[in-house]
Every structure is written in C-alpha cells, then in structure tokens.
C-alpha cells in the first residue's frame, strides 16, 4: 500500500507518517518543507496546489491522507476560507485521476456548540471560519468521492496532548512558558470537559484507520471519555515535571466552547480491535 500524506511536516503529520511507516506502509510525505519528516518516507517538498496532475506526480498512491491545512490553531484566520477552493481542486484532481481511497483530517470544531457525545450523525453548526471551512470540505469531499466511487474517510480530531514543541495548543504554550523560565501560567477556570487523546495514540489511531478500507465515513479519533481541562492540564504539568503553576481565572472561557463534549470512539475502537 502506498499512502500520500499531505501536510507531512506539520504537528500531526510528523507523528502520523512515523506511525504509518512503523506499520510498513509505503509513505510519500508532501509539504512545503520536509525537515521534520521521518527519513524512511519518500519526501517531496512542494506546493500541492500548484501541481497540475498530483495523482501522477506522487506516483499513483492508493490512498490520500490529506492533513494539509493552514492556521489550524487560529480559528478566525482568513486562510480557512481563502484556501478552501484550493483544497477542493486538489482533492477533485485526485478523485478524477483514479485514487482509490481518500481520508481527510477533520475537527470537532466543525460541529459547533454542542454538549454530549459527538457521533457520526451529530448535526453540524460551526461558529468559526475554521469550523465552517472544515465542514464545507467534509461535505464536498463526500460528494466527489461518491461521484467517482472512491472510498471516503473523515477523521474527526479532538484535543491532542503531546509533541508540544511543534503545536500551538495550551499544552504547547505551557511548554514554551516553562522553557522561558516562567513560573505562572494564566488560565481559565478550566471547568469545561473535553476529549483528550495522547499524541502517539492519536497518530497510531489515524494510521490504523487509513491503512484499512472496511470502516469508512466519519470516524471520531477520540478517547470516548470527557475530562475537565483543569485536571488534564494539571496532569500534563505533573507528567513533564514542569515547575509552573496555573493562574486560574485569568481568562474567560471562549464563548463557542462547549461545557462538556467528547467523541464516540466505537468505530476507531473497532478498527484497532480488528487489527490486534
């Protein structure tokens, strides 16, 4: 099996490429630069959106795992809407050329404000440009795959803990604060509950999902369990032996964040169980 991974040099791409390679999958890793990509992969430094026939250019891969996305941690960035047509044309070129399977990284932010367990059929009402663009890409990719009889997976991500040096999450910001010698970190009250997945587990789950074609559609890459943000952050600080304390109440909660939300992990659990 040959899998083309776009955005391979990014926060998620680095770990997912490694997880695929550990499964002895042939990986073509594409990004603007590839200095953080595992050397076992075939590295291709390029601008995806400037390639006329990407299917042929990347050696006719069996699967496209599309991780590429600009400003993923900046939910109100104009890039989400500006780049959407280019993602569409790239994926359309792949379906038109004969790719067999397409998997795209989604986000729980495409759901919008919701409380409870997010499932495959949970209605979406995103409230940020990031969520709106992800939802639009999910819908149009589904249409393109259906038209060409391409197997389609939408991998909906949740809150990832780890590989902090390359991320922009609260865990990355705490790591940066510690490296800067700060002893206190401004924080919310941390009472909201989210679905946290450790980085290595998340990457392995994605690799497991895309290296099979029996379980398709929307797949929640989630633990299936909610946990208070404050509890997970305090645990993260303890796990890494950081000498820093949280300044509770320094920031208000974001108005579009749910009080308690988590993913339904049954599909990814079934994939993992089948591969054991």
DSSP line for the chain: -EEEEETTTSHHHHHHHHHHHHTT-EEEEEES--TTS-TTSEEEES-GGG-S-HHHHTT--SEEEE---TTTT-TT-THHHHHHHHHHHHHHHHHHHT-SEEEEEEEGGGTBS--EEE-TT---B--SHHHHHHHHHHHHHHHHHHHHT-EEEEEEE-EEE--GGG--SHHHHHHHHHHTT-SEEE------EEEEEEHHHHHHHHHHHHT-SSS-EEEEES-S-EEEHHHHHHHHHHHTT---EEETTSSPPPTTS-SBEEE--HHHHHHHHHH-
Which residues are part of the catalytic machinery?
130
């Amino acid at each position: 099996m040959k899998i083309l991974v776009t955005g391979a040099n990014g926060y998620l791409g680095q770990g997912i490429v490694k997880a695929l390679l550990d499964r002895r999958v042939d990986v073509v890793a594409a990004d603007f630069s590839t200095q953080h990509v595992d050397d076992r992969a075939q590295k291709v430094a390029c601008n995806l959106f400037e390639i006329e026939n990407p299917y042929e250019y990347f050696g006719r891969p069996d699967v496209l795992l599309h991780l590429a996305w600009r400003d993923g941690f900046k939910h109100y960035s104009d890039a989400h809407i500006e780049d959407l047509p280019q993602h569409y044309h790239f994926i359309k070129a792949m379906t038109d050329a004969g790719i067999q399977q397409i998997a795209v990284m989604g986000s729980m932010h495409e759901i919008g404000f919701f409380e409870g367990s997010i499932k495959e059929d949970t209605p979406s009402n995103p409230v940020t440009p990031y969520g709106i663009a992800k939802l639009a890409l999910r819908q149009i990719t589904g249409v393109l795959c259906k038209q060409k009889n391409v197997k389609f997976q939408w991998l909906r991500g949740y809150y990832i803990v780890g590989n902090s040096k390359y991320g922009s999450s609260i865990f990355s910001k705490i790591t940066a604060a510690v490296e800067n010698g700060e002893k206190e970190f401004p924080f919310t009250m941390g009472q909201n509950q989210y679905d946290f997945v450790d980085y290595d587990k998340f990457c392995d789950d994605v690799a497991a999902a895309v290296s099979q074609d029996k379980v398709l559609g929307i797949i929640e890459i989630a633990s299936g369990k909610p946990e208070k943000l404050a509890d997970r952050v305090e645990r993260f600080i303890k796990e890494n032996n950081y000498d820093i304390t949280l300044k509770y109440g320094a920031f208000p909660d974001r108005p579009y964040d749910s009080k308690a939300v988590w993913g339904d992990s049954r599909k990814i659990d079934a994939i993992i169980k089948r591969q054991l």
